[in-house]
Amino acid sequence: MEAKAIHRFIPSSPRKMRLVTDLIRGMSVDKAIETLHFHSKHASKDAEKVLRSAVANLMNKDDVTRVEPNELFVKEAFVNQGPTVKRLSPAPQGRGYRIRKRSCHLTIVVATKA
């Protein structure tokens, strides 16, 4: 059994978010939550939030069978690029430098080990 959680339009670049999601891919859920909670990168807070949501989605999916979080693992974790907001910053001699404020979409799928 598996469940998925998606967080869209995270105001962080996909490259920074991928550094964090690569850490937890394939890990057990308990270890992944612990890793994200104590990681120093800012993107780990959003990733932990999505991981907890995916676990809650799995718990709510089937009320008959009870699944413990230590029986789960991160089956998939990937980041897609979201829309980029373009801004101009003043530059020397009347020019303007383009600033690209990137965003990303984070998807995490958790599944039971058995």
Domains of the chain plus CATH, in order, are: 2-112 (3.90.470.10)
pLDDT score, position 61: 86
Q: How far apart are CA 59 and CA 2, in angstroms?
A: 10
Per DSSP, what are the bridge partners of residue 28?
A: 73
State the Cα–Cα distance between residues 79 and 72, nearest whole angstrom. 21
% of residues, the chain, pLDDT over 70 = 99
The pTM score is 0.91
Residue 31: per-residue pLDDT? 96
Residues 96-109 as b/e (b if ≥16 CB within 10 A, e otherwise) read eeeeeebbbbbbbb
pLDDT of residue 70: 85
Token duo for residue 83 = 């829309």
The pair of three-digit structure tokens given for residue 20, joined into one six-digit string: 């964090």
Encode pLDDT of 49-101 as tens digits: 999 999 999 999 877 778 888 899 999 999 999 999 999 999 999 999 999 99
